[in-house]
Amino acid sequence: MGKTYSCCSKPPFHDIHEECGIFGVFGHPEAANLAYLGLYALQHRGQEGAGICSSDGKTLHLEKSMGLISDIFNEKRLKRLPGDSAIGHNRYSTAGSSVLKNVQPLLANYALGSIAIAHNGNLVNAEQMRNELETEGAIFQSSSDSEVILHLIARAKSEDPYERITEALKDVRGAFSLVFLRENEMIALRDPFGVRPLAIGKVDDAYVVASETCAFDIINAQYIRDVEPGEMVIINENGIRSIQALKSPRKAFCVFEFIYFSRPDSYIYNHTCVNTIRKNFGKQLAIDSPADADIVIPVPDSGVPAAVGFAEQSGIPFDFGLIRNHYVGRTFIEPKQSIRHFGVKIKLNPVRCLLEGKRVVVVDDSIVRGTTSKKIIKMIREVGGAKEVHMRISSPPTIGPCFYGIDTPTRQELIASTHLVEEIRKYITADSLSYLSISGLRGIVPNPDDYCTACFDNKYPIMFPREKSAQMELSFA
């Protein structure tokens, strides 16, 4: 289920989120159109605003607006993006920083020409670096982390554009999957830990890069490989070339991409199918926490693959017992005379003929604050007429906020950081509640030591500036 967390509830440094989708194409006559389609497929990664920057070999052209890709771009606007290379960006919606100037790509002129950037991830020392740059006289146009990177590139000394980017990024800490566009080349780069995914593909003779491979399918591109942690991939008229720009101390792929964020039809992290992993989470859950029940239903859409896995493993029939309204917009008017569970009702409704008198297993991917589960369970009993409701969650309890690009509320607001499973069960009024265990999760993802699981174990792989970690009482893996 889509959910927006208000950024007012976060600590001040945590109000800029870069939970996004990025796309790039070099060497295709329809570059802007491909970028449009790629971003269309990546819309789930960000709905606040989007943009495309193209190059005709001499000049970079930028079009961006607030809103959804399909609302922003039409044929006329795409025609204003000439050239055979383009990069694009979908930005996630969070209040406060929801303004056009933060919508990417960001475009700047510097000593070596023009450069545009599209960034997915969150920097943990952006505030500190920004303060330093401002003290030295830099003027910022946006409140986005990514602009810090542009300033650092502009200030770096090297005449070699690749060394310049490397130099700029050497002190930047956090998650950054990046794609840059220059007049005659595209450069893709992933942070040393590889927190956010970034894949390389090919369509005809053109190279493409994208946060997820669902963006390749829509344009008939072939998934080749990922940009490796710390790797810089340079794509220009000479073909494709790679530099290990930043030393990678370890991998820390975000495991929440598998649980919730990526689309199930995508392959991420070295050709791993998201749907298969999600389904296996559900199977494991059924092995570890079986339920005596008549029907398994998912919380759509994110709970679907795990519910299929749970049903397959347990032999309990699967059905769509909750129907999601796919046309719910961002704003709606709540009736004056308050209707119970209105917020959830507008998105989901139980199918009474499936649930009445039944013992129901409800599978969702995660519990954050607990409000969704509580409302859904109430609705399944009151409107659906279920006899028993057994909640199964296909991830471990969420106990740590993410500082690397997934939008989560503060630690205090994460119900599992302050409550035991039995207390959460009571709060959401389930007959039983079980989560996937951390060992269960580790048994399913390939090379389990290569993941960031800080949201489940509080072990943060990328260090924060000292004062921030003290303030947050964080421990580092």
Catalytic site residue from 20, 214, 402, 455: 20
406 binds ligand AMP (CB under 6 A): yes
Mark the segment that binds ligand AMP (CB under 6 A) among 151-159, 188-196, 351-359, 403-411: 403-411
- Interface residue with ligand AMP among 372, 394, 434, 453 (CB under 6 A) is 372
- Residue of 178, 368, 386, 455 that binds ligand AMP (CB under 6 A): 368
Which residue type does 251 have? Answer: K
Of 371, 410, 432, 437, which lies in the binding site for ligand AMP, with binding defined by CB under 6 A?
Answer: 371
Using the rule CB under 6 A, which residue among 369, 419, 442, 459 binds ligand AMP?
Answer: 369
Quick one: which of 232, 367, 452, 472 contacts ligand AMP (CB under 6 A)? 367
Task: Indicate the length of the chain as a whole number.
Answer: 477
Closest distance to ligand AMP from the beta carbon of 407 (Å): 5
- The footprint of ligand AMP on residues 1-30 (CB under 6 A) is 1-3
Give, as ranges, the residues between 242 and 271 that touch ligand AMP (CB under 6 A): 260
For residue 50, which of 18, 92, 12, 8 has the smallest C-alpha distance? 92
Contacting range for ligand AMP; rule: CB under 6 A; set: 63-71, 83-91, 365-373, 445-453: 365-373
Spatial distance between the Cα atoms of 181 and 460, rounded to a whole number of angstroms:
31
Question: Judged by CB, which is closer to ligand AMP: 299, or 311?
Answer: 299
CB of 406 to ligand AMP, least distance (A): 5
* Whether 20 is catalytic: yes
Check binding of 299 to ligand AMP (CB under 6 A): yes
**Residue 411 binds to ligand AMP (criterion: CB under 6 A):** no
Q: Measured from the CB of residue 162, what is the shortest distance to ligand AMP in angstroms?
A: 34
Q: Which residue shows structure tokens 């303060």?
A: 131
State the nearest-atom distance from the C-beta of 317 to ligand AMP, in Å: 22
Binding part of the chain for ligand AMP, among 143-151, 225-233, 362-370, 380-388 by CB under 6 A, reads 362-370
Q: Which of 243, 392, 368 is nearest to 306 (CA)?
A: 392
Residues in CB range of 113: below 8 A, 6 or more apart? 182, 183
Output the CA–CA distances (angstroms, integers) from residue 318 to 181, 274, 310, 314, 346, in the order listed: 47, 20, 9, 10, 24
Of 192, 272, 288, 273, the closest CA to residue 232 belongs to: 192
Q: Which one, of 476, 475, 465, 470, lies nearest residue 127 by Cα?
A: 465
Least Å distance between CB 379 and ligand AMP?
A: 13
Which of 48, 365, 388, 431 contacts ligand AMP by CB under 6 A? 365
Size, binding site for ligand AMP by CB under 6 A: 19
Residue 304 CA to residue 292 CA, distance in Å, equals 20
Joined together, the tokens standing for residue 383 give 């409107």
DSSP code at position 8: G
| DSSP states of 71-106 | HH--HHHHHTS-SSEEEEEEE---SSS-SGGG-S-E
Backbone angles phi, psi at 340, to 5 degrees: -60, 140
- Shortest spacing between CB 301 and ligand AMP, in angstroms: 9
Task: Name the minimum Å distance from CB 4 to ligand AMP.
Answer: 7
Alpha carbon separation from 258 to 40, 275, 280, 303, 441 (Å, rounded): 20, 8, 11, 12, 10
Among 63, 226, 388, 407, indicate the residue that binds ligand AMP (CB under 6 A): 407
What residues are labeled active site? 20
Site of interaction with ligand AMP (CB under 6 A)? 1-3, 260, 299, 302, 364-373, 406-408
